[in-house]
Amino acid sequence: MKLSQLAFFCAVVEQGTVAAAAAQLNCVSSNITTRVRELEDLLGVSLFSREKNRLLVTPEGRLFYQKAKQVLAMAQEARALFKDDAERGVIRVGALDVALTNHLPERIARYRANTPHVELHIRPEPSLMLEQLLMDGELDLILTDGPIIHPLLVSRLAFRERLVLVTPKALSAPTVDDLSRMELYVFGQTCHYRRQVDGYLETSKIKPRSVMEIESFSSIFACIEAGVGFSCLPESVVEQAVTRHGKIHFERTDSLESSDIYYVWRKNYTSPLIHRLIESLEQEL
C-alpha cells in the first residue's frame, strides 16, 4: 500500500468524482482510476459503488477513508519533523549512578529546558553493562569510567572522580588491623569500582572480616554509621553524604586510583544530536 494510493482515494471521496479529483491533483483520470482499483484489489473490498458516471462511497469505503486520512496526516507530520531549525530526536543515555546522582542532574535540567523537542531517556547501569548496551546499539551515549580504547568507540573526559576510604567517624585513622576486623561493603563484580577496591585490598594487605555486596549508597552509609564496616566510594558521593551522615569519615589514599568519568559514544555515529548533548553537559553551571 502506497501513500499515493491513499491520497488518490481520499481525493475522490472528497471531490465526489474522479475527474474532479484529477483536476485537484493535476493528473490524468485514468491514473486515479487505476490506483483506486489497485487499492480495492489489495484490500479485497469495494470502496465505491459505481453507477454510470457516479461513484458512491461504500460503508467499507467510509471506514477506510477515516483510517486513510489519519495515515496521510501522520505522513505529513513526519515529513515536517525536521523542516525547522529545532533539534528533534530520541536520545538514549546510560550512566553510572555516581554520574546521575552528583554530576548530571542540573546539567540535564538545563538541557531539557533548552531542547524541549528532543526526548532524553536515561538509565543507570554498572560499567560493563553500559559498554555492552552501547556496543549493541541500545544506547547512544554512556557516562562511565575510562578512558576506553576501542576501534569503534570514542571517549572523552567528562568529570573528575576518585575513590576514597570511608570509615566510621570514631575510626578516623584506621590501621590495617582495624580494617581487617570490619566488614567491607562493595558493589557487584560488574562495577569498575569493585575491581579497584579489590586491588586496593591486595596492595594494602587488608583482609576484611567479611565482604558484602550492597548496591546502594544509602545502605552502605547507614552500615558505616553503625560502626560495623567500611567502604571505598566515589569522593563526590561521600562529600555530599558527610553533611547528612555525621558519623562517617573519609580520606584519600594513594592506593586508590582515580575513577574519572568519561563520555563514550560510537566513532562513526552521524547524528549531531549526540555531540550537541555533550557540548551542553560540558558547559559550566
Q: Is residue 84 part of a domain?
A: no
Q: Is residue 241 part of a domain?
A: yes
**Is 155 among the domain residues?**
yes
- Report the domain count for the chain: 3
- Residue 137: what residue type? G
Residue 28 sits in the same domain as residue 67: yes
| pLDDT at residue 54 tops 80 | no
Model confidence band, residue 229 (pLDDT cutoffs 50, 70, 90):
very high
Same domain, 100 and 175: no
Section 153-177 average pLDDT: 89
**Contact between residue 9 and residue 72 where contact means Cβ atoms under 8 Å apart:** no
Name the band, by pLDDT with cuts 50, 70 and 90, for residue 245: low
Domain end among 79, 110, 130: 79
Average pLDDT, the chain: 89
Residue type, 239: E
For residue 245, tell me if it sits in a domain: yes
Residue 7 lies in a domain: yes
Range 49-76 burial, b when 16+ CB lie within 10 A, else e: eeeeeebebeeebeebbeebeeeeeeee
Residues 9 and 66 in one domain: yes
- Residue 98 covered by a domain: yes
For residue 65, what are the domain limits?
3-79
Q: Which domain CATH number covers 132? A: 3.40.190.10
Residue 16, domain CATH? 1.10.10.10
Name which of 245, 244, 255, 238 is nearest 179 in CA terms: 255
Res 158 pLDDT > 90 = yes
Is there a single domain that holds both residue 243 and residue 178? yes
The answer on 40 and 108 residing in a single domain is: no
* Residue 156 predicted with pLDDT over 80: yes
Residues 66, 99, single domain; the answer is no
Taking only the tens place, the pLDDT of each residue in 82-133 is 887 778 899 999 999 889 988 999 999 999 999 999 999 999 998 889 999 9
pLDDT at 56 over 70: yes
Residue 120 located in a structural domain: yes
Same-domain check for residues 175 and 224: yes
Question: Residue written as cell 567528562?
Answer: 158
Examine the domain organization and report whether 121 and 70 are in the same domain. no
Are 243 and 173 contained in the same domain? yes
If asked whether residues 185 and 240 sit together in one domain, one would say yes
How far apart CA 215 and CA 190 sit, in angstroms, is 11
Q: Band the pLDDT of 255: cuts 50, 70, 90.
A: confident
Instruction: Flag whether pLDDT at 272 surpasses 70.
Output: yes
275 and 224, same structural domain?
A: no
Q: What pTM does this model have?
A: 0.74
Percent of the chain exceeding pLDDT 90 equals: 52
- CB 178: neighbour CB atoms within 10 A? 14
Same domain, yes or no: 266 and 140:
yes
Residue 272 lies in a domain: yes
